[in-house]
Chains A and B, each alone.
Chain A
Amino acid sequence: MRYIFKMAFRNIGRNKRRTMLSAIAISIAIMVILVMRGYIGGIIDSMFDSLTKVESGHIKISHNKYYEKQDMMPLEHMIDGFDGGGYQELLPVLKSVEDVEIVAPRIKFGVLLSHSGKNSSALGIGVEPEAEDRLISFDNKMVDGGYLSTGSNSNREIIMGKGLASKLGLKTGEKITILARTAYDSLRGMTFTVSGTFSFGISAIDDKLFYIPIGFAQRLLEMGQNASEIIIMVNKPENAEEISEKIKSQIDSKMDDPYYAVVPWNKQEGMLSMFSVATNIYSFIYLFLLVLASTVIINTTMMVIYERMKEIGTIGALGMSSGQIILLFVVEAMLISVIGSFIGMVVGGGIDFILSEVGINLQKLSGGSVDFMTTDIIYPRFDFSILIGSFIFGVVVATVVSYFPSRRAAKIEPVEALRSV
C-alpha cells in the first residue's frame, strides 16, 4: 500500500500544470459550495431565529381548533387553563418540564390602525413583557424610546415596528387608539401610548408588528384570563419534538377532555417545515457541482492512462494486479482532490468567515425591501464542521468518480500495452 501512495504522489508531480488545473477545478467547486452553504445556512439561521421567536416558538401550545385555523386567529378558541382558570394555570406545569427555557404566553390579533388620517393593517401581540423580553431581547432591537414597562408597572403602552410607526406618522410618546374585534365579535377600543419603536431588521416584521401588555390585550379583546397561544423555547431546538411530547402528556394528564395542540417547530406548517426539504435540495446541488468539477479529474485520468500505456503494461507484466492498478490511479485522483479540496476549504472558508463577520446586505443587493422572514443583513453560517465536511465531501466525491476511468487502466492487457510504443 505504501509503495502505491509513493508512486501516486510522484505521478501527480509529473505534469504539475495539469495536476494544478484539476486541483483548481475541485477547489473552485469546494469554494462555491462552502460560500453557498454558509450563505444558505445564514439565511436559514436567520429565518429560523425570526420565525421561532415571532411565530412558532420551538414549541407552540394552542387550542386544537385555534391551531387548525391559526391564520384567522380565532380568538374564541383560547387557552383557558385546565378548568377555565386562565392560561396562568399552565405556566407552572410548563416551566417544570426539563429543558424548557422560556414560556411566553401571547394573544395575537389583527387590526387596522389609524393615526392622523393614515391607515395600516397591523398584527398585534399581547405579551407578558418580561417573558417576551427574555425571548426576543428587545434591548438591542429598540431604536427609539423604551420597551414596555414590566412587573406591576404595567401601563397602557405600545411598542411598534419602526416601519409601522413611520407609516402611521407616530412618534414615541404619542397616543394611538386601537379598535379591535373582540372574542365575542363586538368592537372595542383602547388608547395606548407609544413607549418606543423597534427594528428586527426584517421588513415583514418592522412594517407590521406591535406589542402591548397581555393584560390590556385581554381587556381589549374580552378574553378574560386567557391567551391564544403559549410559545415555548427549549435549550436545544433539535430536541423540541421529544420535549413537546413530554409537555403534551403532562397537560393531558390534568384534563378530562384534552383540547390543546402542542406542536414542535418542525411539525408546524409554513416555512419552517420547508427547511429540511430545502437543505436536501441544496445537498443535491452541491453534489452535482462537485461531480461536474470532477469531470476534470476523469479527463485527466483518461489522458494519463493513454500517456502511460507502456508503464501500465510494465507494471502489469511485473505482476501488479488489476485492483492495484485501479488503486494507483484512484489514489492519484484522491491526492489531487485532497490538494483541490484543501485550497477550496482555505479560500472558501476564508471568504465565508469574512462574510460571516461583515454580513451580506440583502436589502442593498436586491435594491429594496426583502419580503421574507430574514434580517436585511445575512451573516453566513461559519463553523469548522462545515469546512471539514466540505473538504471530506470533495475528496470522497472526486475519488469515487475517478474509479470509473481507472477501471479502463486495469482492463489494458500488458501485452497490448507493451506493444503500444
Chain B
Amino acid sequence: MGALVSVLDLKKDYKVGETVVHALRGMDMEIEAGEFTAVAGPSGSGKSTLLNLIGCLDTPTEGKVLINENDVSHYSKKELANIRRESIGFIFQTFNLIPILSAFENVAFPLSLLHWDSEKIQNNVNQILKDVGLEGMEDRYPRELSGGQQQRVAVARALVKEPTIILADEPTANLDSNTGGDILDLMRELNEEKGATFIFSTHDPMVMDRARRLINLKDGMIHSDERK
C-alpha cells in the first residue's frame, strides 16, 4: 500500500508583479498514515506553499500531489472543496474561528457541511471538546476564550470529522510557550490515541523538538528529512 501523501517533483511558481517567485523548485517526499511531521525552515523556504498544496487549497505549477494515491493536482475547484470537506482538517496560526459561532458550533461546522445528523454531531462535538479540555465552555464565543482555548477549539474543529490528514500552519506561533507546549502535547496525544496524521509548518524549536519527523526546507527544496 502506498503512502498517505506523496509529492512528486512538486513545483510552484508565483508571480509578484513582473517577477516570478519559485516557491517550490521540485520536491519529492512521502508521508505515511499516523505520522507526526514538522516542516521547518526559514521564511520563504516554501513551508506554507507545501502545506497549501497538500491541503488542496492550491494547485501546483508542475508535479503531482497524491493523497491516498489519488492525484489531486488537476482537480477542479469543486473537487478540491469536496476533498477538503471530507478528508482534511486545518489548524491555522491565527486560529480562524468563526466569531459568530460558539465553541460548540465552530467545532460542529465541518460536520454540518458533511450533513451529519444533529444527534451524531452533538455526541461527537461534546466528546472532542472534552478531549481537548474544553468541557463546560461549549457555549462560549471565540471572543470569550483565551488564545490557547481558541486554538484548542481549532484543534477540535480539525479533528472532529476524523480526517485523513490534519495540517497545522504554525499552530503555536500566536501562543505563549506554555500554552504552545500544551497544544503540542494535545496534538501528539491525539496523534497517538486516534492515529491522526499531523503535518505542521513551524519556526518553533519546541515544535521541531517534539515532532517525530522533521523535514527542513531551504529555498523551495528539501534540505534534510530526519525521523526521530
Contact = CB atoms under 8 A, between A and B. Distances in A.
A319 interface: yes
B100 A318 contact: no
A319 B110 contact: yes
Given A319-B85, A418-B96, 17 more contacts: A2-B112, A10-B101, A14-B100, A310-B94, A311-B96, A311-B98, A314-B98, A317-B84, A317-B90, A318-B84, A319-B86, A319-B88, A321-B81, A322-B77, A413-B58, A414-B57, A418-B92
Interface of B: 52, 55, 57-58, 77-78, 81-82, 84-86, 88, 90, 92, 94, 96, 98-101, 105, 109-110, 112-114, 157
9 contacts: A3-B109, A6-B105, A14-B99, A14-B100, A315-B109, A319-B82, A319-B85, A321-B81, A418-B57
A318 B110 contact: yes
Contacts of A315: 98, 109
Contact of A321 (B78, B92, B157): B78
B98 A322 contact: no
Interface string A295-320: 00000000000000011011111111
A321 B76 CA distance: 12
A320 B81 contact: yes
A10 to B, nearest CB: 4
A13 B99 CA distance: 12
Given A418-B92, A421-B94, A320 B113 contact: yes
A323 to B, nearest CB: 9
A7 interface: yes
Contacts of B88: 319
Given A7-B101, A10-B100, A317-B90, A322 B81 contact: yes
Given A3-B112, A318-B90, A322-B77, A415 B98 contact: no
A253 to B, nearest CB: 68
A64 interface: no
Nearest to A325: B81
Contacts of A414: 57
Interface of A: 2-3, 6-7, 10-11, 13-14, 310-311, 313-322, 324, 413-415, 418, 421
Given A322-B77, A322-B81, A317 B57 contact: yes
Contacts of A316: 81
A415 B81 contact: no
B78 A322 contact: yes
Q: Which of B77, B81, B101, B114 has its CB near the most chain A CB atoms (within 10 A)? A: B81
B80 to A, nearest CB: 9
A13 B58 CA distance: 33
B100 A314 contact: no
Contact of A317 (B55, B86, B112): B55
A317 B88 CA distance: 9
Contact of A310 (B96, B100, B112): B96
B52 A314 contact: no
A163 to B, nearest CB: 67
Contacts of B100: 7, 10-11, 13-14
B147 to A, nearest CB: 16
A322 B90 CA distance: 19
A319 B81 CA distance: 5
Contact of B113 (A319, A413, A415): A319
B85 A318 contact: yes
Nearest to A12: B100
Contacts of A7: 98, 100-101
Nearest to A4: B112
Contacts of B52: 415
Contacts of A317: 55, 57, 84, 90
A322 B99 CA distance: 21
List the 3 shortest-distance A-B pairs measured between CB atoms, nearest first: A319-B85, A10-B100, A3-B112
